[in-house]
Amino acid sequence: MNDIVILGATGKTGRRVVELLRAEGRQIRPASRSSEVRFDWSDAATWEGVLTGARSMYLVAPEDPALVRDFVKRAEGVERFVVLSGRGLEHVGGEAFRGMAAAEEAVRESGAEWTILRANNFNQNFDEYTWREPLLAGRLALPAGDVPEPFVDVHDIAAVAARVLTEGGHAGRVYELSGPRGLTFGEAVWVIAQAAGREIEYVELTPEAYRAELLAEGLPTEVADELGAMFAMMREGHLAEPTDGVQRVLGRPPVSFEDYAARAWA
């Protein structure tokens, strides 16, 4: 397939999918708010330039479920969707992560080939954006409990996405993507501290204290609620067991957290 569209082309996974497919000499169309092909979920006028001529698409959903449903309905020429989603989505309560759930449903009903990639928390959440500043400050405080999380490396997610976008045999499949073993957040912070050669403290917060910290930082109530729901689902153990999704698609083990940490702090 040619004319591969990569939505979220400057994001954690999207930019790496772009790099891999370009290295393979594929004809791709990176799309984001800052790409040459501009795409903004909230501006439907940008959708046409993305959809025209598109045959396969890497889709990272917006928060608004109505937007992704409308977009997929308009994507009549797309023959293959690869959707990045979240592992354990069915266990998240309330209104959290509705955009991902809507994206899964929309591509299943589209009539096109579809493959869904349900990922654990990313390794790169520790060094890109999400938890970077607290770690640099020497303290990461979360309501994660003592349940392990098999964090997955975004390079593995991107490699799986690139493979599924460009070869057959994956239609109608849901791949759960994780790292090779689970670590508690406290253990993960210890691994990072060892790689960095510095002291970094992990602090276990109550859900109430965590929510209060998020709101004090100026995050919207909706974001605080969504993060709270995610950690509640994680504490229940729904993401704790490693999966074989990376091995099944790529024929190799996923990147270990120790290798990730050494590379990130090099």
Amino acid sitting at position 252: R
pLDDT for 92-111, tens place per residue?
Answer: 866 668 999 999 999 999 99
Torsion angle of C-alpha atoms 33, 99, 50, 21, degrees rounded to 10: 80
Whether residue 1 is predicted with pLDDT greater than 50 in this model: the reply is: no
- Averaged pLDDT score across all residues of the chain: 95
Give pLDDT, residue 97. Answer: 85
- The parent domain of residue 254 ranges over 4-264
Domain holding 129: CATH number? 3.40.50.720
Domain tally, the chain: 1
Helix (H, G, I), strand (E, B) or coil at 50: helix
pTM, two decimals, is 0.95
Give pLDDT, residue 42. Answer: 95
Give pLDDT, residue 141. Answer: 97
Whether residue 199 is predicted with pLDDT greater than 80 in this model: the reply is: yes
180-183, long-range: CB < 8 A, 24+ apart: 180/150, 180/242, 180/253, 180/254, 180/256, 181/148, 181/150, 181/242, 181/256, 181/257, 182/148, 182/149, 182/150, 182/240, 182/241, 182/242, 183/148, 183/149, 183/150, 183/151, 183/257
Whether residue 254 is predicted with pLDDT greater than 70 in this model: the reply is: yes
Average pLDDT over residues 211-220: 94
Residue 224: name the closest of 200, 207, 202 by CA. 207
